[in-house]
Structure 1
Amino acid sequence: MKTKHYLELDDVKRIAAAAEAEALKNNWAVTIAIADDAGHLLWLQRLDGAAALSAHIAPAKARVAALGRRESKGYEDIINGGRTAFLTAPLAEGMLEGGVPVVKDGQVIGAVGVSGVKSNEDAQVAKAGIAALGL
């Protein structure tokens, strides 16, 4: 039997604060979503000025990164590479760059999804949040 790591509320708050700081530093109006390893939403924060749609996209990015155990950009690359049939995969929402898994000791324990600016900037905010955990 294995020991399973998981995100605690304090971890989620640290991720959210660091992601928010990165977004504010760059004047980016984004929504930040944090999910557990099963893709269930633990945190949703829509910064002032973020588009309403970003509150739907950010959790979807977090969910696909958690469930797929990889950055959501990988799915975007597959689709852009011509494998458009992948769009029919179950739970295939949020397959855009900006969803990043949280990994501890080789295990995905959650994910951060960000939406509101360019996709690579969304990913930058997500990664800044995750870095606050010092994993």
Structure 2
Amino acid sequence: MSQINLELAKRLIESAEKKANEMEVPMVISIVDEGGNFIACHRMDDALLVSVDIAQNKAWTSVAMKMPTSDLAQAAGMGKDLYGINTTNNGRVVVFGGGIPLRKNGQIIGAVGVSGGSVEEDMRVAQAAVDLLDDSELIASLSK
């Protein structure tokens, strides 16, 4: 499978939501494709409304920069090479954790963005989606 379709996006969101429920933190989970195009977004009950845009922008940033947003946080700090990058692209670039590229066979096929908890909580929930993508049986079943 070289791209993300809606069925896969739903499964990734389901995996992330399960982790968020375990943590008892309502989250917004967003999935984009390799071009940063919106595939799906899920807002859990009581998740912050502001988290919708933040989750979508975290996913977009991860694809656009080809890195987790947590890595960008280091490079965008005051005095660093990318300081101020968050003011570009109409403010769409997010420079804190919760966005992670989704890779298959070394290629970025999309990204997940999560918002609603602390940065650490967002990163853990996003990682749950990434971990599901590593499930080769799932990918094989969706490729049929």
Normalization by structure 1: what TM-score? 0.89
Matched with 1:49 is 46
Question: Is contact 2:58-2:114 (8 Å) kept?
Answer: yes
Q: CA–CA distance in 1 between the matches of 2:62 and 2:39?
A: 14
Structure 2 unmatched ranges of 5 or more: 137-144
In the alignment, the residues of structure 2 paired with residue 45 and residue 90 of structure 1 have an alpha-carbon distance, to the nearest angstrom, of: 24
Contact 2:86 2:94 in 1 (8 A): no
Stretches of 4+ aligned residues off by more than 4 angstroms: none
Separation of aligned partners in 2, 1:85 and 1:41: 25
Per the normalisation by structure 2, the TM-score is: 0.84
| Alignment map for 1:92-107 (pairs within 5 Å) | 92-107=92-107
- Alignment match of 2:10 (pick from 10, 13, 16): 13
Task: Measure how far apart 1:82 and its partner are.
Answer: 2.5
In structure 2, how many angstroms separate the alpha carbons of the residues matched to 1:32 and 1:15?
9
CA contact (8 A) 1:65 1:100 kept: yes
Partner of 2:57: 60
The correspondence of residues 24-39 of structure 1 with structure 2, limited to 5 A, is 24-39=21-36
Secondary structure of 2:40's partner? strand
| 1:86 positional shift | 2.7
| Structure 2 Cα separation of the partners of residues 101 and 53 of structure 1 | 22
CA RMSD of aligned residues (A): 1.7
Q: Which runs of 5+ in 1 are unaligned?
A: none
Calculate percent identity across the aligned residue pairs: 30
